[in-house]
Structure 1
């Protein structure tokens, strides 16, 4: 079977890709929906210029699907983009969000292709431990009480996981960010031929939201 990995470059989708490759699956494409709307319900918008570089590191063909990022309409954009590919299945990094998983599953059903979601219902702490052990992942967006300069731009390692667990105990955030509390960017993983490098990094904190803007990746 020929597969496409749906990813924003974040930890969950790249870990799902890694698990697919670990299982010997034939992954050909790295697909990213590129929304104009930074508040898309389904898709991340920060630092997506990293994904073509990630695809190159993984030896995959990058496919960018433009979208206005409007609720539900963006799903049609994804469906049309996937329909144009010669694939038999899609890999996703959903953990607990039924909103996301069910909508991608419905698209797969309509297109007659399979869905592979290896992280679905995985224990969030175990997931973060695996990310810390196997990958270089940085938090690049924060959008929850208790998250700001204390985690923004930091690598997910054992120390940061402890910080997230303590904040979760007080604020009841999802430690893996499944509720949109934070977004991440993967700079290295076992499936990368070499780490992704970057330059031109600035940090913005405003109205309870933080973002690391990165100008260039290679």
Structure 2
């Protein structure tokens, strides 16, 4: 039995889908909810959607509360995971060695296998898979060249081409691995139906813009 770490973003949801495709028994979706929006490890945007993702995938939802302070949040994650009857952990890390190594340390301490199918894969290949297999939208922009006009835009071939152009000028990671942007996955093959919402609002501040979805269902 595997547990999947996810904030509902494209990378972790794609990793869950790849695990299911390979026959893994994914029984739990684990969401760490940090009080600190600038958490080193975990996203904080639109986390209410993760419970719905678990329901859509017929998985048990597990929420771990954390202050979001560096390193302490890892102890919170470990404490939450050691309560689960699992043998493995699924992570969506791409290139962040900080995230990958720390999740690996927790997995090792708990004698868990780790499945991170996107680790050090070509970012363009990852984005192509996201566009082909998922329906993901941008919900946070936090880098030069990424304006609030991108909020709510779906990750498709046109958006990928735009990210490449922005990357060539502003040197962003096209998959957002450096925190340049965050996504929410509205649909995936393992969902029983897409995620919907009733209302939305935009919070715009210097250096960061966020799309908040309300009335999720």
- Fold shared, TM-score > 0.5 on shorter chain: yes
Separation of aligned partners in 2, 1:163 and 1:205: 21
Give RMSD over aligned pairs. 0.6
* Runs of 5+ unmatched residues, structure 1: none
Q: SS in structure 2 opposite 1:31?
A: strand
Which residue of structure 2 aligns with residue 93 of structure 1? Answer: 92
Which residue of structure 1 aligns with residue 83 of structure 2? Answer: 84
1:179 matched to 2:150: no
Separation of aligned partners in 2, 1:45 and 1:150: 20
Separation of aligned partners in 1, 2:88 and 2:204: 39
1:104 matched to 2:103: yes
Residues 159-197 of structure 1 show CA distances to partners (whole Å, capped at 9, x for unaligned) of 111110000000000000000000000000001011011
Separation of aligned partners in 1, 2:49 and 2:20: 20
**C-alpha contact 1:151 1:160 (8 A) present in aligned 2:** no
Separation of aligned partners in 2, 1:91 and 1:143: 26
1:130 matched to 2:124: no
Deviation at 1:214, TM superposition (A): 1.1
Deviation at 1:3, TM superposition (A): 0.2
Which residue of structure 2 aligns with residue 12 of structure 1? Answer: 11
1:32 matched to 2:31: yes
Separation of aligned partners in 2, 1:9 and 1:86: 22
1:160 matched to 2:171: no
**C-alpha contact 2:134 2:189 (8 A) present in aligned 1:** yes
Separation of aligned partners in 2, 1:205 and 1:163: 21
1:216 matched to 2:209: no
Separation of aligned partners in 2, 1:66 and 1:157: 33
Q: SS in structure 2 opposite 1:85?
A: coil
**C-alpha contact 1:152 1:212 (8 A) present in aligned 2:** yes
Which residue of structure 2 aligns with residue 55 of structure 1? Answer: 54
Number of paired residues? 217
Which residue of structure 2 aligns with residue 139 of structure 1? Answer: 138
TM-score under structure 1 normalisation? 0.98
Residues 21-59 of structure 1 show CA distances to partners (whole Å, capped at 9, x for unaligned) of 000001100000000111101000010000000100011
Runs of 4+ in 1 over 2 A off after TM superposition: none
**C-alpha contact 2:142 2:209 (8 A) present in aligned 1:** yes
Separation of aligned partners in 2, 1:37 and 1:205: 18
* Runs of 5+ unmatched residues, structure 2: none
Q: SS in structure 1 opposite 2:149?
A: coil
Which residue of structure 2 aligns with residue 42 of structure 1? Answer: 41
**C-alpha contact 2:141 2:148 (8 A) present in aligned 1:** no
